[in-house]
């Protein structure tokens, strides 16, 4: 059976490098993104490496829950899925809503991959042994750890809210790994560390994205950040590629793969069952009913 992979936000940066790695490993890769032009360039670049299977592009605005549902329906209609890499991520300097009226950082960084994953579980089960890889971030260390609602109390600061959404998604991934244990579906999180990407070269240079307390230290933080994001996206993609393909992970689940492409201890808050339960309740309320098979 042909092994297949889907990489969200796979048309540039870490996502494209991940897609290249999966294609090199012999998987038939689908990259998902908003821009048909960037999608065409990504497919051309992947296919130029003469992969075993030609790559393709599917257009979807992953800030829209309806678009996520349509994407899941399209993928599910085509048969079993071997690997799902939830690489999508976005940080916003100013607060904005998604098309569904949900705060955009939470919608893109957690709710979109949550819904896509839940809808594709039957398809991944059909492709077992299969893997889910959620891309996480070191920004979870500055996140507020309350998930009673989409938006935490206090003012909006993009870096902190991005970290909170990524914390929700990591807690979800680790919780999901327990739920799917024994189904043939392994769940991993991959931490890319720092890399020079469109997001880091843009939003992260704006001091408005951090709280006033951290803003006082921003010159020091920014210098450290710029040193840590000097590496190429190809290096930052290695944890995702490892999590998706490495044979040593066969039969394992619930691991965080660190920037050096080996398992590391998860951020403690993400393992808190109370946080996982709160994230689950909030996600179910926002995304609506999902027909689960596991």
| Strand order from edge to edge, sheet including 56-59 | 56-59, 28-33, 4-8, 83-86, 130-135, 185-190, 255-257, 263-264
User: Which member of 156, 157, 162, 172 is catalytic?
Assistant: 156
The tokens for 38 are 């960037």
Please tell me whether residue 151 adopts helix, strand or coil conformation. Answer: coil
CA distance 121 to 143: 28
Taking residue 81's Cβ as centre, other Cβ atoms within 10 Å add up to 26
Cβ–Cβ under 8 Å, residues 233 and 197: yes
Quote the radius of gyration of the chain (alpha carbons, Å).
18
Q: Is position 156 annotated as part of the catalytic site?
A: yes
Cβ–Cβ under 8 Å, residues 4 and 80: yes
Q: Which residues are catalytic?
A: 156
């Amino acid at each position: 059976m042909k092994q297949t992979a889907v990489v969200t936000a796979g048309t540039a940066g870490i996502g494209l490098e991940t897609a290249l790695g999966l294609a090199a490993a012999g998987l038939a890769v689908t990259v998902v993104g908003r821009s048909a032009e960037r999608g065409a360039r990504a497919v051309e670049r992947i296919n130029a490496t003469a992969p075993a299977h030609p790559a393709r592009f599917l257009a979807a605005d992953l800030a829209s829950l309806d678009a996520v549902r349509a994407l899941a329906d399209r993928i599910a209609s085509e048969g079993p899925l071997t690997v799902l890499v939830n690489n999508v991520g976005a940080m916003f300097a100013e607060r904005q809503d998604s098309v569904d009226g949900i705060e955009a950082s939470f919608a893109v960084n957690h709710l979109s991959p949550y819904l896509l994953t839940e809808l594709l579980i039957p398809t991944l089960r059909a492709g077992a042994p299969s893997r889910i890889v959620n891309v996480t971030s070191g920004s979870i260390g500055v996140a507020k750890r309350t998930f009673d609602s989409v938006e935490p109390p206090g003012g909006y600061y993009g870096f902190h809210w991005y970290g909170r959404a990524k914390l929700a998604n990591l807690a979800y991934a680790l919780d999901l790994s327990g739920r799917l244990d024994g189904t043939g579906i392994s769940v991993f999180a991959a931490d890319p560390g720092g890399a020079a990407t469109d997001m880091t070269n843009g939003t992260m240079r704006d001091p408005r994205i951090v709280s006033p307390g951290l803003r006082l230290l921003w010159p020091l933080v920014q210098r450290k950040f710029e040193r840590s994001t000097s590496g190429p996206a190809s290096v930052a993609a290695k944890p995702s590629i490892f999590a998706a393909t490495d044979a040593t992970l066969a039969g394992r689940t619930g691991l965080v793969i660190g920037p050096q492409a080996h398992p590391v201890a998860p951020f403690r808050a993400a393992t808190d069952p109370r946080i996982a339960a709160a994230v689950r309740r909030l996600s179910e309320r926002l995304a609506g009913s999902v027909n689960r098979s596991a």
